[in-house]
């Protein structure tokens, strides 16, 4: 049997192990048991970890102690705070980015039989609400250097049925919006931005939520800021903004002050897509820390970029010219991706594709052959751990593991 001092000595360096108290107090301690515990893999570096500020708990408690736990004054306050933080206007808070996208499709007049040109590399949520509208997603190819939709490929996919361009800023890196907007203007198409990855991104100095007809943000669990689930729609046109506020709450005007029968004269099919004050309080607390979140994420990108350059078999994704990325994912292209993932997994480092190409979903029709770049990078792209709680030693460990080869 070992003494407490001997156990402590053996466990030195493992003070942050989650089972340390159990180990120190384990009575029938044998040397073999301690050695076995200290040689097991202790690294467990997660891909994502939600940033939760210490201010969130008290903020939620305050809401719980008030009358308004549903949609109330804090939702309005969050919208105004979002608008001033990101220099955007006409923000409508909803319960998810999926809901924001659905509202954008309805407000764009997308209906049965319409075609919407989009990227194959995104979350299913990007296109699912198009199916609600009985519209058809048409997949354009992506660019190898950014993984974003290729404007040249968009041109080739336009038909008389095309109603809108639906673009996604992969990993937070803005698409080539000048080219996309020019095509949209020439063909009189709406531009809908799925900015779920892109909170805080800029293109040519302009905030990402101010460029397209509609911009949709996500506050789902692993995004820059989170309320568990949540979303927000920015509408360019004031009429769309007013209608979005009606549609997120049954089609009823919550601010209507006259006769109740007049208030309930619903003429539009609405939804239950509103945000609640519990979520808004959480998001206000997180948004107060946005500068720190942004800086931390930028420092992680800088570290990866300077320590992984010139690693054989590894290529970076570029930031679009004149754009500022929101740095949500750190995606790279690697040769022999299965071996790369295995090596990192064995070292306790999580990696993921995050999203697979959408066209392969049976509900979306199956793999398209006319997407040569998507086909080319399909076996190469992978995202590395990226969250605010990554410590310098975690990052060093990740790059050292990669640099040692796979």
For the bound state, the minimum distance from the C-beta of residue 147 to ligand PLP, rounded and expressed in Å, comes to: 12
Structure tokens at 389: 């709680």
146 binds ligand PLP (CB under 6 A): no
Per-residue x/- track, 112-131, ligand PLP (CB under 6 A): ----------xx-xx-----
CA-based nearest residue to 166, from 212, 103, 100: 212
Structure tokens at 75: 């939702």
- Contact with ligand PLP (CB under 6 A) among 75, 135, 168, 275: 168
Our CB check for ligand PLP shows the closer of 98 and 173 to be: 98
Structure tokens at 328: 């949500």
For the bound state, the minimum distance from the C-beta of residue 230 to ligand PLP, rounded and expressed in Å, comes to: 7
For the bound state, the minimum distance from the C-beta of residue 58 to ligand PLP, rounded and expressed in Å, comes to: 25
Our CB check for ligand PLP shows the closer of 177 and 196 to be: 196
- Contact with ligand PLP (CB under 6 A) among 197, 245, 297, 387: 197
CA-based nearest residue to 313, from 332, 334, 330, 331: 334
Cα angle for residues 107, 108, 109 (degrees, 5° grid): 90
Per-residue x/- track, 253-292, ligand PLP (CB under 6 A): ----------------------------------------
Q: Write the DSSP symbol of residue 3.
A: -
For the bound state, the minimum distance from the C-beta of residue 400 to ligand PLP, rounded and expressed in Å, comes to: 30
Per-residue x/- track, 68-97, ligand PLP (CB under 6 A): ----------------------------xx
Hey, how many other C-beta atoms are within 10 angstroms of the C-beta on 204? Answer: 13
E-only strand ranges, 184-264: 190-194, 202-203, 206-207, 214-218, 231-235
How many whole angstroms separate alpha carbon 327 and alpha carbon 198? 8
CB 371 within 8 A of CB 139: yes
Our CB check for ligand PLP shows the closer of 132 and 397 to be: 132
Q: Write the DSSP symbol of residue 120.
A: S
CA-based nearest residue to 229, from 353, 98, 79: 98
Structure tokens at 282: 């959480």
Q: Residues in contact with ligand PLP, total (CB under 6 A)?
A: 14
Our CB check for ligand PLP shows the closer of 169 and 240 to be: 169
Structure tokens at 406: 């796979």
β-bridge partners, 195: none
Our CB check for ligand PLP shows the closer of 164 and 196 to be: 196
For the bound state, the minimum distance from the C-beta of residue 282 to ligand PLP, rounded and expressed in Å, comes to: 14
- Contact with ligand PLP (CB under 6 A) among 119, 215, 218, 331: 218
Per-residue x/- track, 225-244, ligand PLP (CB under 6 A): ------x-------------
Structure tokens at 290: 């946005």
165 binds ligand PLP (CB under 6 A): no
C-alpha dihedral (385, 128, 282, 66), degrees to nearest 10: -160
Cα angle for residues 50, 55, 57 (degrees, 5° grid): 80
Quick one: CA dihedral 140, 142, 143, 146, positive or negative? Answer: positive
For the bound state, the minimum distance from the C-beta of residue 404 to ligand PLP, rounded and expressed in Å, comes to: 31
194 binds ligand PLP (CB under 6 A): yes
Beta-strand relationship, 190-194 and 162-168: parallel
CB 199 within 8 A of CB 225: yes
CB 45 within 8 A of CB 386: no
The Cα-based distances of 284 to 56, 241, 292, 323, 326 in angstroms read: 9, 21, 14, 26, 19
Site for ligand PLP in 350-379 (CB under 6 A): none
Our CB check for ligand PLP shows the closer of 228 and 372 to be: 228
Our CB check for ligand PLP shows the closer of 231 and 385 to be: 231
For the bound state, the minimum distance from the C-beta of residue 167 to ligand PLP, rounded and expressed in Å, comes to: 10
Specify the stretch interacting with ligand PLP by CB under 6 A; choose among 108-116, 191-199, 246-254, 258-266.
191-199
* Binding stretches for ligand PLP (CB under 6 A): 96-98, 122-123, 125-126, 168, 194, 196-197, 218, 220, 231
């Amino acid at each position: 049997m070992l003494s407490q001092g001997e156990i402590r000595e053996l466990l030195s360096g493992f003070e942050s192990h989650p089972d340390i108290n159990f180990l120190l107090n384990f009575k029938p301690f044998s040397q073999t048991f301690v050695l076995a515990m200290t040689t097991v893999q202790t690294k467990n570096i997660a891909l994502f970890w939600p940033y939760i500020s210490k201010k969130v708990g008290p903020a939620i408690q305050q809401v719980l102690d008030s009358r308004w736990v549903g949609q109330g004054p804090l939702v309005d306050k969050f919208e105004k705070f979002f608008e001033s933080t990101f220099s955007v206007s006409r923000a409508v808070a909803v319960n998810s980015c999926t809901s924001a996208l659905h509202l954008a499709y309805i407000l764009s007049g997308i209906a049965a039989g319409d075609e919407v040109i989009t990227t194959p590399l995104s979350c299913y949520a990007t296109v699912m609400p198009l199916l609600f509208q009985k519209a058809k997603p048409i997949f354009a190819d992506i660019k190898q250097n950014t993984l974003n939709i290729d404007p040249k490929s968009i041109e080739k996919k336009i038909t008389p049925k095309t109603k809108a361009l639906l673009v996604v800023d992969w990993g937070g890196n803005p698409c080539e919006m000048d080219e996309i907007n020019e095509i949209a203007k020439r063909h009189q198409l709406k531009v809908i931005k799925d900015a779920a990855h892109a909170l805080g991104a800029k293109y040519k100095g302009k905030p990402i939520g101010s460029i397209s007809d509609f911009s949709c943000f996500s506050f789902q669990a692993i995004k820059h800021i989170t309320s568990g689930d949540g979303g927000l729609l920015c509408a360019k046109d004031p009429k769309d903004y007013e209608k979005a506020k009606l549609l997120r709450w049954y089609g009823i005007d919550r601010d209507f002050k006259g006769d109740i029968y007049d208030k309930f004269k619903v003429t539009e099919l609405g939804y239950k897509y509103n945000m609640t004050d519990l979520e808004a309080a959480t998001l206000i607390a997180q948004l107060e820390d946005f500068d720190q979140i942004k800086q931390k994420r930028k420092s992680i990108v800088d570290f990866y970029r300077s320590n992984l350059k010139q690693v054989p078999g590894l290529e970076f994704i570029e930031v679009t010219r004149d754009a500022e990325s929101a740095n949500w994912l750190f995606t790279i292209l690697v040769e022999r991706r299965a071996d790369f993932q295995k090596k990192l997994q064995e070292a306790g480092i999580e990696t993921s594709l995050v999203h697979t190409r959408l066209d392969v979903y049976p509900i979306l029709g199956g793999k398209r052959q006319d997407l040569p770049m998507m086909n080319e990078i399909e076996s190469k792209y992978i995202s590395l751990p990226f969250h605010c709680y990554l410590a310098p030693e975690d990052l060093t460990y990740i790059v050292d593991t990669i640099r040692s080869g796979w």
